[in-house]
Structure 1
Amino acid sequence: MEPLYMIQCTLDPRAFMAFAREQNLDPGRDELDLGYLGHAWLKAAFGELAPAPWRLFMPRRSMVTPPRILAYSSHPVEALADHLDRFGTPSVAAVCPSENIQGKTMPTEWPMERRYGFEVLCCPVGRKAGKGPEMDIYLIRADHSSENHLDRLDIYRHWFRERLHNNPGVQVVEVEVDSFRLGRILRKTQNRKRKEVRAMRPQAVFRGLLEAKDSESLLALLQRGVGRHRAFGFGMVLLRPA
């Protein structure tokens, strides 16, 4: 299996917001989609090497800890830093100079039948009958249910288990929704005019326990992530000791 790397980019918050304004993502106009902003910066910094899945950690204003992006990548930190130094514009490099990019190689061998704690920020969405516009999975279930009161968090937990069902080497032992909010996201159409589209989407942090039967299955989960919008800050699985 190809090596998998964990990358950390420590960001300068003022340069990050300056980059947002440069990209016409001025937070003064509307609710700023930090996931789209992170996606735009990663593409500007690393091009086709941009890592995914990833997650942005923005501290509260009262905290002195700088924002950071954690990501999984098939490219080592040296390749990412070299790309930024050679091709990044000054405003892009100011957000995270190459010396502020850190990385490590993920182990290729993991104990069999071992349990791990996990945390992952997801966007639990789907499409009716597999087609049509993307919707909150809770709203899709509500349209197909005769019950008056549905448990939103229970639907999200079921959605999460379904996402990992196709990876038989990893079993979800426990999963809970640690936090949930509805947030406005920004996307751009893929046609030539590239129109902006804003929509309200669920954002849920899942925590729990999983059991990995073999190393390849666990690494495949880390490399792929969970759910949709993985290029926009969702789906990165972070592990911790059980």
Structure 2
Amino acid sequence: MTLHLVRIGVNPLALAQYAVGRRIGDDDDGYALHCALVARFGDAAPRPFRYWRDHARGPHLLGYVADWPAMQDAGALPPADDRLAALFDTPQAQPMPAAWRAAARYAFEVRVRPTVRFGRQVRAARGDRAGAWQPKAGEIDAYVAACERAVLAGESTDTVDRAAVYVRWLARRLDGVATLEDATLRLFQRARSRRSTHRPAGSGARTHAVEGPDAVVAGTLTITDPAAFADILARGVGRHAAFGHGMLLLSPAGRAA
């Protein structure tokens, strides 16, 4: 099935009212948009997606959809939640290439949440180790993890470059899929997001706030495995693709120097 790029206009006031009503607001509206998209389009909702609050064409999101006809069918139904009626404009879509070519070059931009996640055993070991940074955390900023490694190696954190850490983080997730010819950190901030606690109803808080890195990396890539590239384009880069991160935006690459 052909992947489609969709554009959906977003009503910021309706989004804010939806987030407040469900108590799911955060700094970037990622969790509220995730919930609203799933409520409106179900399994056919865009994932990954990226949201722009202020833009010359108005607030909107772009996303990838694996089954465009299913999304159209879902959008034709009346919204289950009245608060969704004014939130989204009618989606517009265009097909992405049906097949990708090895060695093809593209300019790219991707918003990512570059974090390092620890399994239960590693987390326990870090909690007992002297010098561990944020020892009880299950997931930390990749830059913080690099600083911890530098200190444990007897080096200064001044030797750790945030941009280089995030570019390496991205390169590792594209390893075997695409090669980064060049990449730069275009934007960085720290943001408070909201995530599910995966608790059943009535057993406590359903969501919790998490604070972490929010970065935009841009550059040029070369496809090495077309099938794997198609998969990561549809799936998104990193663990937070359902919440407004991980969408690889592509455009024609300029002439190589």
Q: Give TM-score scaled by structure 2 length.
A: 0.81
Give the aligned partner of residue 170 of structure 1.
178
Give the aligned partner of residue 62 of structure 2.
70
Distance 2:101 2:220 in 1: 15
Q: Secondary structure at the match of 1:104?
A: strand
Aligned 1:87-102 pairs, distance under 5 A: 87-88=78-79, 89-97=81-89, 100-102=90-92
Q: Secondary structure at the match of 1:147?
A: coil
Q: Give the CA deviation at 1:205.
A: 0.2
Which of 180, 183, 197 aligns to 1:189? It is: 197
Q: Which moved more, 1:123-132 or 1:39-48?
A: 123-132
Distance 1:215 1:108 in 2: 11
Distance 2:119 2:31 in 1: 27
Distance 1:32 1:152 in 2: 22
Distance 1:241 1:174 in 2: 15
Give the aligned partner of residue 6 of structure 1.
5
Give the aligned partner of residue 203 of structure 1.
214
Q: Structure 1's 214 and 126: CA in aligned 2 closer, same or farther, altered over 3 A?
A: closer
Distance 2:85 2:163 in 1: 40
Are 1:45 and 2:40 matched, yes or no? yes
Q: Give the CA deviation at 1:213.
A: 3.7
Q: Give TM-score scaled by structure 1 length.
A: 0.86
Are 1:153 and 2:163 matched, yes or no? yes
Q: Secondary structure at the match of 2:77?
A: helix
RMSD: 2.0
Q: Secondary structure at the match of 1:144?
A: helix
Give the aligned partner of residue 56 of structure 1.
51
Q: Which moved more, 1:168-177 or 1:198-207?
A: 168-177
- Structure 1 consecutive aligned stretches of length 4 or more whose deviation exceeds 4 Å: 128-131
Give the aligned partner of residue 237 of structure 2.
226
Which of 131, 135, 149 aligns to 1:144? It is: 149
Distance 1:110 1:137 in 2: 30
Conserved 8 A contact 2:4-2:64: yes
Conserved 8 A contact 2:24-2:194: no
One-letter amino acid of the structure 2 residue matched with residue 209 of structure 1:
T
One-letter amino acid of the structure 2 residue matched with residue 79 of structure 1:
A
Q: Secondary structure at the match of 1:171?
A: strand
Distance 1:210 1:90 in 2: 43
Distance 2:223 2:167 in 1: 19
Distance 2:224 2:169 in 1: 22
Q: Structure 1's 197 and 169: CA in aligned 2 closer, same or farther, altered over 3 A?
A: closer
Structure 1 or 2, whichever has the larger Rg, is 2
Q: Secondary structure at the match of 1:184?
A: strand
Q: Structure 1's 64 and 153: CA in aligned 2 closer, same or farther, altered over 3 A?
A: closer
* Structure 2, unaligned runs of 5 or more: 124-137
Which of 72, 76, 82 aligns to 2:73? It is: 82
Conserved 8 A contact 2:9-2:91: yes
Distance 2:191 2:207 in 1: 16
* Structure 1, unaligned runs of 5 or more: none
**What CA deviation, in whole Å up to 9, does each residue of 1:127-147 have, x standing for no partner?**
247843111111112222232
Q: How many residues align?
A: 229
